[in-house]
Structure 1
Amino acid sequence: MVNYCCAALALLFFLPAGAGAQTGEWPALPDPPAAEGPGIRLSGPRVPPLPESEWTAAQRALAETYARNGDGGNAFATMLHAPELADVVHPFLDYTARRSTLPDRHRKLLILRTAWVAQNAYLWADHASDAVSAGFTAAELRRIAEGPEADGWTAFESALLGFVDELYRNSSVTDATWAALAAEYDELNMVDAVVTVAEFTTFSMLYNALGVQPDAGAAERLPADVPYRLEPPQREPPLTRPRIEPIDGPGLSVTRTIRRHPQVAETWGGNTEYVNRRSPRPP
């Protein structure tokens, strides 16, 4: 689940490995996500939520730790089919959703635009409902779907939405977009912006594949009458120097870069540990 985050961080923060980094050219890549429009959303779950009546004591303990209102909705109940995975991914998911250094409005813009470009009905319903409670209007939610060129955004908010489009489509961000965000954001904010989009892209992929459906109590739904449009600038050549310098010492550059942000380093590590070492799948 977290390899997308690793790739996004590698492409955005420091020199990519391999010949492309030497020549300033990208290696051969498939068509980008949503190159021909959004895919088809499932109307029912492939993996149904685990009924609360079937939860073990360990699963109930996870719900008490991580689930809002004690149940966590369809997504959490689906994740309980793999309780060890649920245990390691939720701290970082909670960090990006609620506790990062970003202003709450900016965080919601990034999450909702990511849910829209990935066409994830669950994440849109969940976080749009939160956004309405936080003061977002119906018109603003619609504008998020319409994208960075819609009337009504400030220049910075438009740059945030464009940042999502570039990262989702290109797995990279242009120098101009990076500079637009860095004009108001410090280094920690920049890391948080990247990992928020990367994390919610990852969960969009997961929930779309599993067919996680919106919770019955979430009133908001993906706008059905907004055309799907994703037109970021062309991908620029790979970086030849880091945007954020890794700290000195042994280890991978991506790990040493993340250590510049202690909160991210603390919560992100469990995800990579599961994928690389603790997953029950054969290595």
Structure 2
Amino acid sequence: MRLSYVDNPPNFTNEDDKATLERVKARRGEKGLLPLDLALLHAPKVADGWNSLLGAIRGKTSLPDNIREIAICRPALINQAWFEWKHHAPLLQDSESFKASPDKFETVQQLHPTSAGSLDKREWATLRYADAMTRDVKVSQSLFDEVKALFSEQEVVEITTTVASYNLVSRFLVALDVGEMNDQAPEFTSQVTNPTSTDDRIQS
């Protein structure tokens, strides 16, 4: 990582920070703290808010696993957040829908899929909605109408917050190279580039 990680376990003396640490550990369970946590815990209050938000996104929505993980994996792929992809692609593949039709994953791992392939209508709409939010921010009215026709209003809010949250996650991971995976793209992504990068062009 471009910064140091906090010690594992962190040596907090402040009681609020200790409480934050316990909440993060409780969400992670037996697998323990991830490199992401050890980066975020440089700023315990930020880590606490992050833990609360992502805990809700991951475990407290009404979305089925396949829809939630498509909404997570697309920002990971587009933003080249391989740490995020490594953790969530297997969860998508393990969802009931994708285990029943494994070739669905071929569409999800394409940078610019032009057809749904084996994805059902809800999965295909979620993929394109996540792509529009990630690439363009603005979502066309026609695409939004399609999503709204396929999901309840609660689900639309949950999908939207999931995509937005994992754009946050992916950008944090890539900017700091959390997990040292920026240069460890999966083989299938050899065609993935980021033509929208403005690193060399922004002067302000």
Same fold, judged at TM 0.5 (above): yes
Q: Give the TM-score normalised by structure 2.
A: 0.77
Q: Distance in 2 between matches of 1:191 and 1:123?
A: 22
Partner of 1:240: none
Partner of 2:23: 62
Q: Note the C-alpha offset of 1:111.
A: 0.4
Aligned equivalent of 1:223, options 183, 186, 203: 186
**Count of matched residue pairs:** 182
**Percent identity (aligned):** 21
CA deviation after TM superposition for structure 1 residue 60, in Å:
4.1
- Unmatched 5+ stretches in structure 2: 195-204
Checking the alignment, whether the CA contact within 8 Å between 2:6 and 2:39 is kept in structure 1 is: yes
Equivalent positions of 1:97-108 (< 5 A) are: 97-108=58-69
1:21-40 equivalences in 2 (<5 Å):
none
Report the equivalent of 1:155.
121
Q: Which amino acid aligns with 1:98?
A: G
Alpha-carbon distance in 1 for matches of 2:89, 2:126: 17
Q: Which residue identity does 1:72 align to in structure 2? A: L
Q: For residues 113 and 121 of structure 2, what CA distance do their matches in structure 1 show? A: 9
Query: For residue 273 of structure 1, what is the aligned residue in structure 2?
Result: none
Paired residue secondary structure (2:187): coil
2:51 is the alignment partner of 1:90: yes
- Which structure has the larger Rg over C-alpha atoms? 1
Shift of 1:144: 1.0
TM-score normalised according to structure 1 size: 0.57
Offset at 1:71? 1.9
Tell me the amino acid that sits aligned with residue 177 of structure 2.
G
Q: Which amino acid aligns with 1:56?
A: F
Quote how far apart the aligned CAs of 1:155 are: 3.0
CA distance in 2, matches of 1:229, 1:140: 22
State the shift of 1:79 in Å. Answer: 1.1
Larger RCO, structures 1/2 (Cα 8 Å, 6+ apart) = 1
Q: Counterpart of 1:164 in structure 2: which amino acid?
A: A
Distance 2:92 2:122 in 1: 19
C-alpha distance 96-53 of structure 1, shift in aligned 2 (>3 A): closer
- Give the Å deviation of 1:120: 0.4
What RMSD in Å do the two structures reach over aligned CA positions?
A: 2.7
Higher helix share: 2
